[in-house]
Chains A and B, each alone.
Chain A
């Protein structure tokens, strides 16, 4: 009873935020009031006003326009990184869960090993050895976040293997690949989708952190993280450089988290209200 009142709002609010941010990113060239790269020395560090809703930065560029273009970066990194982690996680998890035995044991051992690393250290180290660029960030975030998906897929497969329809398909002599692709994976997708949605939120946070440290998206390309670096440098005089880009990160991450929680409640009613 409580479920319909308490849980659907999560899905609705989260979904709306996600759609809103995605639209702003897609339509950035149409709705941005100014060119995000246009330097204007007469309008340096203007506080928010009707002409510049979120103020201007140290080069006189419009902060709102830069944020809209920054949304593209955040979402691109989020989606591609999660795509990579899903690919690796599903492949490894399927192999471990389907074959079991020593294959499973050794794959899980490797997963535990990677889990022991402070992931952010790992990412930072790799990023600094490669040149920091948007593609490298996507790849590195993706390659350091597959462990959760692997464990999830493996656990689902292990329980699926004991189900009758899987045993039936197996006894009919279907190939392993067919079995995994057509019967096991579709039935394991629920929790994987939830973790993918939550994963986008995580990747957006990591990207902003890296860019904030100067090891992510490089200026002059706008990203919410590197805009905050400028905010930090001008902390004494220009609060708007710090407040708005951070708010954008917060709202985006919140949206994906709410959507993920909402989806989880939907596919797994047992976990509702927690």
Chain B
């Protein structure tokens, strides 16, 4: 197991390098430089000034040198400083925004698991029942619904019309005056809609996946054998089948991470949540190279770590994986 984990960990290094090369190349092939943008027609900014700005940000060096310098700093978690007027380190900016985004995504994932697994199991056990058909319709709609539209509808109905939930930000105006528990309750109320909206696509996918996994197991030979030997249906469904059908869920969770992280841009923009997604959106609009690059790389690293975690838990849960790891 330890050997397998180490092997996987080292396997990440070329992937990481590839990721940095792709993001770096992409940013620098694109037109529009921060030292030029907004200054082209400004009579007070001479060509010399622009050159000085370029030199200041290291943009005058050859591309491979810029990449190498950036990579060296990356190794010590130095993502450079933001081009924006506050000029703060990218890493600090991201780290202060990251917790909200992580919380929303982790809560969304938990919500997906807690709701989708029972739905999938119940649909499979009662295949072609009304419940199963109803859930199939829900799944198709869940796949097709644009998350930001669902968010808008919920904002209109629950927020504006019924005035039940807050529709923007993560704190109420009176946050400062609240007691500790009041603050937690307020935070929770602000997170309900964003978490639900982030989860909707995964909810549909996961319940569908769980259903087909259960059906596979229920139809397998060893379940038929167990049934022939007189094992009760209860026992078959909830002891034998569920355990085996749960395994692939781990992998699917790992695969859903890029979608969740990418989706946080839209969800955070919609609900004005000060997380990494909104930061990225603002960085993209202001062409803040270091910030865009830093967040892209951090997002990709988070994805890689998520996948690694998923693979390791899979190997831990299913001994067949690492015993046959040589192949």
Contact = CB atoms under 8 A, between A and B. Distances in A.
Interface residues of B, number: 53
A114 interface: yes
Interface residues of A, number: 47
B295 interface: yes
Given A109-B14, A118-B262, A130-B31, A242 B149 contact: yes
B141 interface: yes
B198 interface: no
Contact of B143 (A120, A129, A253, A274): A253
Interface stretch (B70-78, B169-177, B189-197, B300-308): B300-308
Interface string B138-149: 001101111011
Nearest to A118: B262
Contacts of A273: 127, 215
Interface in A5-47: 6
A212 interface: yes
Nearest to B301: A116
Interface string B1-44: 00000000000001100110011001100111000000000000
Interface stretch (A164-172, A185-193, A231-239): A231-239
A221 interface: no
Interface stretch (B231-239, B278-286, B309-317): B278-286
Interface in B213-267: 215, 258-259, 261-263, 265-266
A116 B152 contact: no
A235 B155 contact: yes
A249 B284 contact: no
A125 B304 CA distance: 19
Contacts of A257: 140, 143-144
15 contacts: A117-B300, A118-B299, A120-B266, A122-B296, A129-B287, A209-B146, A212-B266, A228-B146, A231-B152, A235-B155, A246-B149, A253-B144, A253-B146, A274-B211, A274-B215
B292 interface: yes
Contacts of A110: 18
Contacts of B211: 274
B18 A129 contact: no
Contact of B303 (A118, A127, A235, A254): A118
Nearest to A256: B144
B34 to A, nearest CB: 11
B32 A129 contact: yes
Interface in B134-189: 140-141, 143-146, 148-149, 152-153, 155-156, 160, 167
Question: Taking each of A118, A231, A232, which has the highest tally of chain B beta carbons within 10 Å of its own beta carbon?
Answer: A118
Interface in A71-129: 109-110, 112-122, 124-129
A111 to B, nearest CB: 11
A54 B212 CA distance: 40
A231 B160 CA distance: 13
Contacts of A120: 259, 262-263, 265-266
Contacts of B212: 274
What DSSP secondary structure best describes chain A's contact surface?
helix
Contact of B266 (A114, A213, A236, A250): A213
Contacts of B149: 228, 242, 246, 249-250
Contact of A213 (B160, B269, B300): B269
B303 A117 contact: yes
Contacts of A116: 15, 19, 258, 300, 303-304, 307
B140 to A, nearest CB: 6
B265 A121 contact: yes
A150 interface: no
A274 B213 CA distance: 9
Given A120-B265, A124-B284, 12 more contacts: A112-B15, A116-B15, A117-B258, A125-B26, A125-B284, A205-B144, A215-B284, A232-B152, A242-B153, A243-B153, A251-B144, A254-B141
Contact of B295 (A121, A231, A239, A250): A121
A258 interface: yes
A208 interface: yes
Interface string A193-218: 00000000100010011001101000
